[in-house]
Homo-oligomer: A and B are copies of this chain.
Amino acid sequence: MEARSLVFKALGDPTRREILDRLREGDLNAGEIASAFEIGKASISHHLNLLKQAGLVKSRRQGQQQIYTLHTTVFQEALQWLMVFFENQTTPPNPKGSGKLGENGPRG
C-alpha cells in the first residue's frame, strides 16, 4: 500500500497511538509494550508490525528482546502533508477571508 495511507491508517487506531505515546518516553521491548494493554501479545505484535510498515517505529534485537524505537522521519512527512493544506490552499470564494493560518499566513 502507499506510504501515506499506511501512516495515517496506523495513526487511526487508539492502541497504536498509545504505543507511540509510550515510546516517546524511551525505547521499549515488545513485552513491556504488550503488558501495558489488555489485549494479547500476538495482537500487539501485529500492531507493532503495522507501525513498522508505516515507518513510524524501528525495531532491533537485543538478546531475546525486540526493542522498539520511534522513528520520527515519517512523522515529519505526515506533518508536511498536512501543512500543505494550509500553505497551498487557493483562497476560497467564501465571503470574508477564510485563510485561517494562525497569526501569520503562508509566507509570513
Residues of A whose CB lies within 8 Å of any CB of B are: 2, 4-5, 8-9, 11-14, 17, 20, 24-27, 69-70, 72-73, 75-76, 78-79, 82-83, 85-86, 88-90, 92-94, 98, 100, 102
Contacts and interface: CB of A to CB of B under 8 A. Distances in A.
Number of copies: 2
B82 A86 contact: no
6 contacts: A2-B14, A12-B12, A26-B90, A27-B92, A72-B100, A79-B83
A106 to B, nearest CB: 12
B73 A100 contact: yes
Given A5-B14, A8-B12, A82-B79, A89 B73 contact: no
Contacts of A79: 79, 82-83
B85 A70 contact: yes
Contact of A4 (B17, B82, B88): B17
A57 to B, nearest CB: 12
A18 B86 CA distance: 16
